[in-house]
Structure 1
Amino acid sequence: MKFTETKLKGCFILEPKIIKDERGYFMESFNEKTFSEGVGQNITFVQDNQSFSTKGVLRGLHYQTGEHAQAKLVRVLHGEVLDVAVDLRPNSPTFGQYETAFLSGENQTQFFIPRGFAHGFLVLSETATFFYKCDNFYNKDSEGGLIYNDPTVNIDWNFPKEQLIISEKDTILPILENAKKVW
């Protein structure tokens, strides 16, 4: 597994070693020891989540606050997505900046997003199955969100706005200036 830290300290792109032959392929998608060494910290994942979406679905940008903050290790089992992490750590030199990763069932790339980040993704293929591990349990009272088109963060989704499919809940999320603090 190759680990590449992004411009956002603590966020990593993970590229697995895929062994292919005439039967298909094999890869190790997660190994606790390799992962801990690769990201430089011990993370214990406690919950796995999976979603299925169609082209144009934009989910996010979501996060958990305080003691319920979550680190996530995300990947796509089938399809293609543009995955986005936004740094919301108040004392971070990259506060308000974002990083993207192209994740697909074909490239098997993963994206590690530590606590203190908002996260979202946009489905680029006809359908996508998205899978992620969390290091903390979901807590409704600790939900936070950031509007996908915040003018300060200015995420380039590289997708026609009129084709986006966004939940009502996600269309009324606040801008960065008014967003709930992560801690």
Structure 2
Amino acid sequence: MQFTETELQGVWVIEPTPMLDDRGSFTRLFCEKEMADCGLATRFVQHSRAHSIKKGTLRGLHYQEEPYAEVKLVSCVRGAIFDVVVDLRPNSSTRYKWLGFELTSENMKQLYIPAGFAHGLQTLTDGTEVSYLISQFYTPNASTGVHYNDPTLSIGWPLMPTAMSERDKSWPLIRRRTATAS
């Protein structure tokens, strides 16, 4: 497995190294020792899967507030996604910066998202499935989000959204959130 830290401290792209032979391939997707050697969390209490029917489906931007902040390990197991992380850590020099990554079933890349980041994705194909390893149990009262089209972030989504939940459409803008938090 190859581990590459991104310009947003704590966000890593993990690329498996398939072993190929005449039968096909075998790929290790998780290694507690290798992840721990990079200083990454290795305890995940939930494994979730999202299936999206339509290309252009947008999910997010989601996160859980402290003390229930989550670490996520995300991979696309069918189809392709544009996966986005947004740094929301209060004292971070990259606060409100975002990065996007193309994760596909073919490239098998995984995205490691530390606590303090919002996460969202947009499907690039019909019939996409995404797998999440999550470090915290889902806590409804701590679950929140940021509007996918927040002008403070200016995320360059590749497609116009074709499907979104009402909840994701109604997340507040960062400006409003910080104004009401003061």
Taking structure 1 as the reference length, what is the TM-score of the superposition? 0.93
Matches within 5 A, 1:146-165: 146-159=146-159, 161=160, 163-165=161-163
Deviations 1:12-46 (A, max 9, x none): 000010122232211100011111113x1443111
Corresponding letter in the other structure for 1:141: N
Cα distance, 1:57 vs structure 2: 0.8
Question: Quick one: structure 1 residues 108 and 83, their matched pair in 2 at CA, closer, same or farther if it must change by over 3 Å?
Answer: same
Structure 1 residues 138-153: aligned runs within 5 Å: 138-153=138-153
Per-residue deviation at 1:110? Answer: 0.1
Name the structure 2 match of 1:178. Answer: 176
| Letter matched to residue 92 of structure 1 | S
Any residues of structure 2 matched to 1:51-90 within 5 Å, and which? 51-54=50-53, 55-90=55-90
Listed as ranges, the gaps of 5+ residues in structure 2 are none
- 2: distance between equivalents of 1:98 and 1:120? 11
Q: Which runs of 5 or more residues in structure 1 are unaligned?
A: none
Structure 1 residue aligned with 2:45 = 46
Q: Percent identity?
A: 40
**What TM-score do you get using the length of structure 2 for normalisation?**
0.93
Deviation at 1:176, TM superposition (A): 1.5
In 2, Cα distance between equivalents of 1:74 and 1:58: 15
Aligned equivalent of 2:95: 95
